Structure 1
């Protein structure tokens, strides 16, 4: 199974994922961003883009990597990865379905003010707020109001600690 943690920057995906992994037996965290980083390292580079998810190879490579890891290890993969483009989510979820891999799709959500404050006060990625992360607030709001919240189980992290969010997700996938 895959437990996909979606949501924009500042929602708590990276912090929550290892906590979910600790609570769900036989699970591992798969950071699909590393697939994008591999594509970014190709030389000469792929066509210019502001987001590696726009490169057509990224989506099937995420599916294939997840499939191969699960085939090798079994269990559950926890995937903390923002996907805000509906077509990209459809490609990924359809690819996983082709391999009969069940997906529990969660969106870690917080209101815009909370997200902005978390990004602006992030000391790990600092110094200063990340313009890349801030640029995703509006596309997230649009996706959340449209397809995204309809496609996933929403966990509002505005008032939740990452551990409480992880417990809710782990309970949902193990019961």
Structure 2
């Protein structure tokens, strides 16, 4: 199965994915951003875009990569990746479903002021205007479709280990 951790930048997807992976025996983390980074490294470059998710080939490559990894390793994949465009999520989830791969879609959420503070004080990546610029698109997706399509875990007042424990409890409960 796949545990897909969605949500905006700074909400804790990467941190949660590491902790969740440690709590689910036989699981691995697969960051779909690496698929996008591979596409960005193609020379000469693919058509210009401000987000590799807009390239139509990114979505099926994410599906195929996840499918092949699961076919090779079995177990559970924990995939931290922001997907805010509903059509893109539908393509990915339908692609995985077509291969019989169950997906547990979890959206990590935090209040906007908390997100801004986390982004501004990030000691690993540092402050980022790009990450901050994604807060409004996330809020719009949350209002219009994203929260209705997933289990939402509010990370505002939770520690990373509490977030991971909630996610794993949902996996164990078969949600």
Q: Shorter-normalised TM-score: what interval?
A: over 0.9
Q: What's the counterpart of residue 110 of structure 1?
A: 110
Is 1:85 the counterpart of 2:93? The answer is no
1:24 touches 1:174 (CA, 8 Å); kept in 2?
A: no
Shift of 1:105: 0.2
1:2 touches 1:101 (CA, 8 Å); kept in 2?
A: yes
SS at match of 2:107: strand
Shift of 1:13: 0.2
Q: What's the counterpart of residue 130 of structure 1?
A: 128
1:52 touches 1:58 (CA, 8 Å); kept in 2?
A: yes
CA distance, structure 1, for counterparts of residue 147 and residue 139 of structure 2: 10
Q: What's the counterpart of residue 53 of structure 2?
A: 53
Structure 1 runs of 4+ with >3 Å offset: none
Write the deviation string for residues 24-71 of structure 1: whole angstroms up to 9, x where unpaired.
111000011000000000000011111110111110000000000001
Unpaired runs of 5+ residues, structure 2, are: none
RMSD across aligned positions (CA): 0.6
TM-score if structure 2 supplies the norm length? 0.98
TM-score if structure 1 supplies the norm length? 0.98
**How many residues matched?**
173
CA distance, structure 1, for counterparts of residue 121 and residue 73 of structure 2: 38
SS at match of 1:37: helix
CA distance, structure 2, for counterparts of residue 140 and residue 162 of structure 1: 20
Unpaired runs of 5+ residues, structure 1, are: none
